[in-house]
């Protein structure tokens, strides 16, 4: 026979399964899904940042949640005939309703016109193949042509996409060169780094911003800490490659909660776009 306590527990289990509740991965608290959505998927108890996709960031950061998308129909080829690449690509398209692991376009942030792009971890780890690189490059070129700040958000644990081999790797040089042109013309380039941003993405366009903003606890680096430890046989310091560690060591400029990300971005844009203020 079910006791009342068991009944409650079993009801909670069913509701967790049905997605009404979500368990925080960090503190274990059971959280009401609707409240989590309203707080942009940040745990109210421990500030854990759940992994979210590009749509959440578009809603959070852009005026009216509106992105005027460009290059929507660019899709990759399979130049190496890499085993199972086509299947993986197709399943990512199905899972995310995206045609590639990046979305880009023009938008406004608190009325300031910007070019905005975001990679999405849910699409093959947010990895950079030829199309992702090309869309970053085209976004930078558009920002240059229209003299608008370029806001680039990344969630790219996959780095350069191995299925496209050297064509993926060359995107590192290409995207780095394109964003360097913005610097020459004094057009602001802002990186927002979310968990995880690694490898070929981090080692190119994701770490070249004038201002680098990171979400708390995000893993940001080139090679992951476990691989480094195995290779050099040294125990790494606690928090290595996390946002806070990188802030302390000068690689990241601002660590801010997703709940404050919009206001922080507005402040940064305002300072960079309107540098001279009348007293
Ligand atoms: Zn929590």
For the chain, percent of residues with pLDDT exceeding 90:
74
Same domain, 2 and 118: no
CA of 152 to the centre of ligand 1 (A): 27
Q: If pLDDT is split at 50, 70 and 90, which confidence band does 278 have?
A: very low
Q: How many Cα atoms are found within 13 Å in the side-chain-facing hemisphere of 129? A: 23
Residue 31's DSSP bridge partners are 22
Which residue has better confidence, 277 or 222? Answer: 222
- The answer on pLDDT for 187 being more than 80 is yes
Alpha helix locations (H) across 224-257?
A: 225-232, 243-248
Which residue has better confidence, 275 or 197? Answer: 197
Is residue 63 in some structural domain?
A: yes
- Residue 237: what pLDDT? 80
- Residue 5: what pLDDT? 64
Is residue 261 in some structural domain?
A: yes
CA of 49 to the centre of ligand 1 (A): 8
Dihedral sign of CA atoms 159, 163, 169, 174 in order: negative
Q: If pLDDT is split at 50, 70 and 90, which confidence band does 87 have?
A: very high
CA of 195 to the centre of ligand 1 (A): 16
- The answer on pLDDT for 279 being more than 50 is no
Is residue 278 in some structural domain?
A: no
Q: If pLDDT is split at 50, 70 and 90, which confidence band does 7 have?
A: low
Same domain, 32 and 85: no
Same domain, 121 and 185: yes
- Residue 145: what pLDDT? 96
Residue 106's DSSP bridge partners are 68, 115
Of 20, 35, 50, which marks where a domain is finished? Answer: 50
Same domain, 66 and 12: no
Residue 22's DSSP bridge partners are 31
Residue 46's domain spans which residues?
1-50
- The answer on pLDDT for 59 being more than 50 is yes
DSSP state of 217: T
- The total of structural domains in the chain comes to 2
Q: If pLDDT is split at 50, 70 and 90, which confidence band does 241 have?
A: confident
Is residue 235 in some structural domain?
A: yes
Is residue 279 in some structural domain?
A: no
Same domain, 84 and 39: no
- The answer on pLDDT for 56 being more than 90 is yes
The neighbourhood of ligand 1, an ion, using CB within 5 A, equals: 24, 26-27, 29, 43, 45-46, 48
Same domain, 75 and 141: yes
Same domain, 64 and 5: no
Dihedral sign of CA atoms 18, 60, 71, 169 in order: negative
Is residue 66 in some structural domain?
A: yes
Same domain, 6 and 77: no
């Amino acid at each position: 026979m079910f006791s009342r306590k068991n009944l409650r527990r079993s009801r909670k289990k069913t509701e967790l399964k049905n997605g009404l509740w979500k368990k925080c991965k960090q503190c274990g608290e059971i959280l009401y899904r609707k409240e989590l959505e309203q707080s942009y998927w940040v745990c109210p108890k421990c500030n854990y940042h759940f992994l979210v996709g590009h749509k959440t960031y578009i809603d959070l950061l852009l005026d009216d949640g509106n992105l005027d998308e460009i290059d929507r129909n660019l899709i990759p080829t399979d130049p190496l005939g890499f085993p199972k690449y086509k299947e993986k690509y197709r399943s990512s398209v199905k899972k995310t309703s995206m045609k590639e692991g990046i979305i880009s376009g023009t938008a406004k942030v608190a009325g300031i016109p910007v070019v905005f792009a975001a990679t999405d971890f849910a699409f093959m780890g947010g990895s950079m193949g030829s199309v992702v690189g090309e869309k970053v490059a085209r976004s930078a070129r558009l920002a240059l042509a229209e003299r608008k700040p370029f806001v680039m958000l990344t969630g790219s644990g996959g780095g350069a996409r191995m299925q496209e081999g050297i064509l993926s790797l060359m995107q590192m040089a290409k995207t780095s060169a394109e964003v360097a042109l913005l610097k020459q013309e004094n057009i602001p380039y802002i990186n927002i780094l979310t968990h995880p941003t690694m490898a070929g993405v981090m080692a190119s366009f994701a770490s070249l911003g004038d201002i680098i903003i990171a979400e708390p606890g995000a893993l940001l680096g080139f090679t992951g800490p476990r691989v480094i430890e195995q290779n050099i046989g040294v125990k790494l310091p606690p928090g290595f490659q996390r946002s806070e560690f990188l802030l302390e060591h000068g690689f990241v400029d601002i660590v801010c909660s997703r709940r404050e990300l919009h206001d922080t971005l507005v402040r940064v844009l305002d300072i960079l776009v309107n540098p001279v203020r009348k007293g």
